[in-house]
Each structure stands twice: as structure tokens, then as C-alpha cells.
Amino acid sequence: TLPLTATVSQAVAAPPAPSTQPYALVPLPVSQHVVAAHGFTLTPQTRIAVLSRDSAAVGVGTYLSKLIAPATGYDLPVVRDTRAPKNAVVLDPNGPRTLGAEGYTLTSDKNGVVVKAHGAEGLFRGVQTLRQLLPAAIESPTKQSRAWTVSPVQISDSPRYEYRGVMLDVARRFFPVDQVKRYIDEAAAYKINTLHLHLTDDQGWRIAIDAIPDLTKAGAGTQSGFTGGTDWYYTAADYQEIVAYASSRFMTVVPEIDGPGHTGAALASVPDLNCDDKAKAPYSGFEVGISLYCLDGQHAGNVQNFLQTVIKAVAELTPGPYIHLGGDEIPHSTTPEQYAAYVKAATDATVGRDKTVMAWHQLGQATIPAGSLLQYWGEDTDRRSIGTEKETDSVRFVRNGAAQGAKFIMSPSDHAYLDMQYDVSTPYGVNWTGSGYVPVRRSYEWDPATVTGKLDGTGSIVPAQKIAGVEAALWADRAYEGSNGLPTPATNWPAPQAYADYMSFPRLPAIAEVGWSAQSVRDWNGFRQRLAHQGPRWTAAGIGYYPAPGIPWP
């Protein structure tokens, strides 16, 4: 018996929902209660009051002012104040420690809005909630004439997992800096806090390394399906611009330097990484598992020097704690000894630069530093395994990693891979995983703590306390394989941004909620209803989402 329709009608396009979900918020907060009859209506005189001189907290105030300026036409001043003034959105970073760095409380009533957190990061997450309590038109880039009321509510919120990431495969499909920034904003709206950039692969090397200028000559002229580029890479300044922008959205960048497989672009750029000391031809095809650094006795030293140089340069440009070392899909010819020697060289170089190792779960088969973060990308229940084997290689690698003190990020491909087709009608993407397609429901209905990775679906592959979070992965190696299984001509392929929007929305918000909201409060039917009300927000923001069936879009 909440005062839903009466108070909400002019405030926000939210449906009357179960009492624990009075507003259509994604991800679902820990608790929300409607206690006041009226929410707070912004006016041109409203002030954003930051109750601190902390520059990061003031930055969140400025961010909020700029966020709502285009649609409202208001230019709300950010004032540094010590007490809460009237007619204000108050941002208070001196809130209780108890909700953690990302937790916050938010209250809205007719007198104002107050967001409290312990530090600026929690304020930023709270501002994303505030955004969804405003009408969908708040996302419009142009001025809309209407009332801007923040729905009346009391929220207390904090995340289930500390790591909630998304990966962009800029190696297979190059995303210009402005498109990466746009994607950062889209993901930040759903409280994603980590951007993993897959910077190197067979089809491209996307980060300039000053000491090895050749890497971005041959290595940056190809993409999956495209050749002839000259600058399909990030300069150090570009990369720092991305890192700084992500940081302004309280998002950490994790750079990935994949190896020893997925190294075609480096092999095409640096001759002495090849066993015959000859550079390979640049690659713009669609296969995986086709390349390997030369790991024989003579060349292992070359690879080691190369890694030292590359990881030093990347570490210096990266303020975040992690460097992702890849380690996936090596050709079958690789011996365990070669793989182990590579892993030692790569992890030594990373630890030597004071960074924490992150890698695909395959790295767990080798000796790795304690505290490494392994990313599980096998299936939830491994439907592809045949025969009597119940434990796949993945299970062994994961167990061996866990025994060495690794923590895990869960990206099961049958839930969290954004390059999978939603269904047979999806014009691009792939369908190799699990049941084939990944409709929105599949991206939502899973629990990171009970992913099994096993044919019989029994027992969690990773003990719950070793899971640090989740990550959605937008691969782009076969980004333009049509639903008929044949590659669409590159000219018909959408811009990276359009591909990213279509494949990520609505599935990225689903994964974001898997990472943020407690398992016990999540259910598909509630999510479906709430998700529907995100559609008008995406439309207003110009996000080209897939209006998936089964969601009651308004």
C-alpha cells in the first residue's frame, strides 16, 4: 500500500511494483522505502551542496551538475558548504563507514535530496541512483520542458561484489577514444567500476610502446575483417585520457597484454619473437588459437625482454592495481614447460612493477603469485563436454589457481559474453557457448557463487569466498558473422559504438545487477519489469539497444 501512482505519476516512469521494489531501479538497491508523499523538484535555483572541501567529492557535484544540464537547461551551481542548505541536492562524503567505499544512502522528500557516503566513490554510485529517480527524459541531450522531480524515497545501498567489470575487445575492433568514453558513461550508469581493455591480439596491437615503435606499425594496421589502417591504436596520451576519464567515473582501467597465444600482431611487428626471426604477415581473420610467441630455448630470452619492456611501459601508464596477462587459448603444440616459463616471465615482470596479476583462468595451470585474479570464462554448466569426463580442464585450472591463493572474477561465457547472439535473429555475434544463444534472461539468471563449470552441474567451481566479482565481455573477433553463419561484408558492419550498444543493452545492466545486488533479492520477473523502464532512458540517451522480446517495454 505504497503511495505509488499518486506520487510517481509526474515524477518518474516507474511502475507500481512489489513493495520491496517501489521504483524501477537497476541495479536493485539493498533497501528502498517510500515514506514521504512528495519528492524533491529541481528548479533553476537549486544548488548542489557538497559538504566537504575534498576535491573528489566536489568533482562528483560538478559531474551531477553537468549530467543534468542538457535536459533541464539548468546550470546548477556547486557550492561547498558545511551545513545542508535549502532547495539543494546535498552530497555528503562524511557518511558512515559501515556501507563501505561504494555504499551510500539517499533520501528525497519535498525539501531536498541528500546523498551520504563515506567518500566520493559512494557519492558517485548514489548519483547514478538519483539519475534513475528522475524522469527518463533527464537522459536527453537537448532541453525538455517539464517538471524534474526526484521520486520520494529512502535508500540504503551497497554492492555484493567489489569488482564489477566490462571488457572491450579493442584489439579485434578498434574503438576510437571518444567511443570508449561514451561506453564508460553507459556502463557507469549501472555502477560498473572496472573497464578491462583487451589491447592486444592476433588482429591488432593497440597501445603504443615508446621503446618498441614497430609494434604499432604492422601491428595496428589490421582489425578483424579490416586492413590498411595506419593509426588503429592508442598513443600513451590517448590511453591516459581514457584512464583519466574512467577515473572521473570511479572506474579502474585494467589493460590486457595477452600471451603467449593471441599474439599475431606482435609477431607481425617484432621479428625476433618468431622462431625463424621473420615477422609474420599481419592478420585480419577470424580464427582463435592460431598464434604463439617462439618459446624455444633461444627465443625465450627475447620474449622475456619484450615482456619486461611492454609491462614496464603499460604499468607506468596505469594507476590501477592490475595488469591482465591473458594466457588463454594457446595452440595445442605448446608444452606445459613452455607455458610455465612464459607465465613466470610475465608474472615476474608484473610483480616487479608492483602490479597485481590478472589473467584468464587458464593461467591457473601454472605457478602464479598469491593474490592473483583469475577470470573464469568457461561455461556455467559445461554443456559441450562429452564422454565420461566430469572434470574439464577448466575445473583443474581453476582449482590449481585457487589452491595458490587466487581470487576469481566470473565471466561464464553462457551468461556474461556480450558477443553472443541473443537469438537466431541477432544480425551479428556468435553462438558457440553453452546453449548457443544468450538471451537477456540467461545473462540475468545465474549466481556467480554457484557456477559449476561441470557437465553434471554439481558443486561450485570456485568457493564463494574466493569470488571478487563479475565481468561482462564484449568480444569483437567475429562481430560481423551474420545469423546465417557467414561473415557480413565489412561495409555492412555497424560502427563499434552501434555494435557495443546493441550487444550490451540490455545485457550489460543484467550483469551489473548480478554483480551489485544480493542473490536473495533478485528475480527475473522483477528485473524484467524494472528493465523495461530503462528503455526510454536509452532512447533518450541515443543508445541503440536491442528491444528484446519478453521485456514489457513501455
Residues that bind ligand TNX (CB under 6 A): 288, 328-329, 360, 377, 417, 419, 430, 475, 477
Say if residue 4 is exposed, middle or buried (CB neighbours under 10 Å; 0-12, 13-18, 19+): middle
- Comparing CB distances to ligand TNX, the nearer of 118 and 172 is 172
Measured from the CB of residue 278, what is the shortest distance to ligand TNX in angstroms? 25
Measured from the CB of residue 477, what is the shortest distance to ligand TNX in angstroms? 4
- The residue whose grid cell reads 579485434 is 172
In whole angstroms, give the CA distance from residue 322 to residue 194. 11
In whole angstroms, give the CA distance from residue 443 to residue 506. 9
- Comparing CB distances to ligand TNX, the nearer of 329 and 447 is 329
- Comparing CB distances to ligand TNX, the nearer of 276 and 287 is 287
- Comparing CB distances to ligand TNX, the nearer of 377 and 397 is 377
H or E stretch at 120: helix 120-133
Number of Cβ atoms within 10 Å of the Cβ of 520? 6
Measured from the CB of residue 333, what is the shortest distance to ligand TNX in angstroms? 18
Measured from the CB of residue 360, what is the shortest distance to ligand TNX in angstroms? 4
- Comparing CB distances to ligand TNX, the nearer of 461 and 531 is 461
**Amino acid at position 2, single letter:** L
**Amino acid at position 112, single letter:** G
Q: Which of 41, 19, 14, 39 is nearest to 31 (CA)?
A: 19
In whole angstroms, give the CA distance from residue 366 to residue 341. 9
- Comparing CB distances to ligand TNX, the nearer of 14 and 409 is 409
- 315-330 burial: b if 16+ Cβ within 10 Å, else e: bebbebebbbbbbbeb
- Comparing CB distances to ligand TNX, the nearer of 164 and 324 is 324
Pairing of strands 104-109, 148-150: unpaired
Measured from the CB of residue 417, what is the shortest distance to ligand TNX in angstroms? 6
In whole angstroms, give the CA distance from residue 413 to residue 473. 8
- Comparing CB distances to ligand TNX, the nearer of 234 and 475 is 475
Compute φ and ψ for 541, nearest 5 degrees.
Answer: -85, -5
- Comparing CB distances to ligand TNX, the nearer of 139 and 419 is 419
Nearest 5°: the CA angle 391, 394, 396 is: 60
In whole angstroms, give the CA distance from residue 56 to residue 511. 27
Q: Which of 211, 223, 321 is nearest to 264 (CA)?
A: 223
N-term to C-term CA, the chain = 23
In whole angstroms, give the CA distance from residue 205 to residue 278. 18
Q: Which of 439, 448, 465 is nearest to 517 (CA)?
A: 448
- Comparing CB distances to ligand TNX, the nearer of 288 and 521 is 288
Measured from the CB of residue 324, what is the shortest distance to ligand TNX in angstroms? 10
Measured from the CB of residue 426, what is the shortest distance to ligand TNX in angstroms? 13
Measured from the CB of residue 418, what is the shortest distance to ligand TNX in angstroms? 9
- Comparing CB distances to ligand TNX, the nearer of 102 and 328 is 328
Measured from the CB of residue 430, what is the shortest distance to ligand TNX in angstroms? 5
Q: DSSP string covering 301-327, please?
A: HHHHHHHHHHHHHHHHH--SSEEEEE-
Compute φ and ψ for 314, nearest 5 degrees.
Answer: -70, -40
Measured from the CB of residue 499, what is the shortest distance to ligand TNX in angstroms? 13
3-state secondary structure (DSSP) of residue 524:
helix
Measured from the CB of residue 459, what is the shortest distance to ligand TNX in angstroms? 23
Q: Is residue 186 within 8 Å of 76, Cβ to Cβ?
A: no
Measured from the CB of residue 288, what is the shortest distance to ligand TNX in angstroms? 5
Pairing of strands 356-360, 112-116: unpaired
In whole angstroms, give the CA distance from residue 253 to residue 323. 9
- Comparing CB distances to ligand TNX, the nearer of 212 and 503 is 503
